[in-house]
Structure 1
Amino acid sequence: MAEKFIDKAGVDRLAALHLAIDAVRRGGTISLSGVYGGTADPLPMMVLFDKQIQLRMGQADVKRWIDDILPLLGDDDPLGVYSFATHRLPLDDAPGAYERFQEKKDGTVKVLLQPALRP
């Protein structure tokens, strides 16, 4: 029960964000490149307001970069994408792969999901 509770109400994952809030100059900008906390995580709104901090965040604009990146993902692998993956799993194992990545089990850094080939 506690494990499910921490996913929604956990407050232990904000250390980097709080450090950024403390470190940014007055009127500065903090850009979030990851996902922080659960749905009930508190933010120090008065500090953010007082320091006039701007928060920038959002999902990766994948569609914007598709045409530029796809040619680089050929068989010769110039970006080292294939060797960077620490695990290769069937697409059906995606839910478990997310859990392994979140918990950093078995050295999981990057998972390459491979769809099953149809006959």
Structure 2
Amino acid sequence: MVEEVDRQLDEEYEVTYEVTGEKVDSIDFNAGGGDAADPKLETVDNPTLPWKKTVRLRGIEAPVVIPVTVDADGSGDLSCKILHKGRTLAEESDAGTVSVTGCVAVSPIVG
């Protein structure tokens, strides 16, 4: 049992983040590094949409992508998605919801 937990904590996996829509001011995402309790987020300012990024995470690190928009009226389409081996782990498609919560998934290693 302990060996299985240790293996899961060290196992690496890749996820692909996708953000589509009309416009976002920035995108924050877990790029790996840090740890499960305090992930290292990176930011891309004024990205061209659609935007896609594949990252390597480890163990129980949660895949996270958060498109940030300062357009308070909520106009325009915005969606985010997290993919692992072609399978969708998380997806949101309401501009208001996406810009507030983004997409967060459970690590496929433990999920």
Q: Which has the larger radius of gyration?
A: 1
Q: TM-score range by the shorter chain?
A: under 0.3
Q: Which structure's residues are more often strand, by fraction?
A: 2
Query: With structure 2 as the length reference, what TM-score do the two structures score?
Result: 0.24
Q: Which has the higher contact order (CA 8 A, sep 6+)?
A: 2
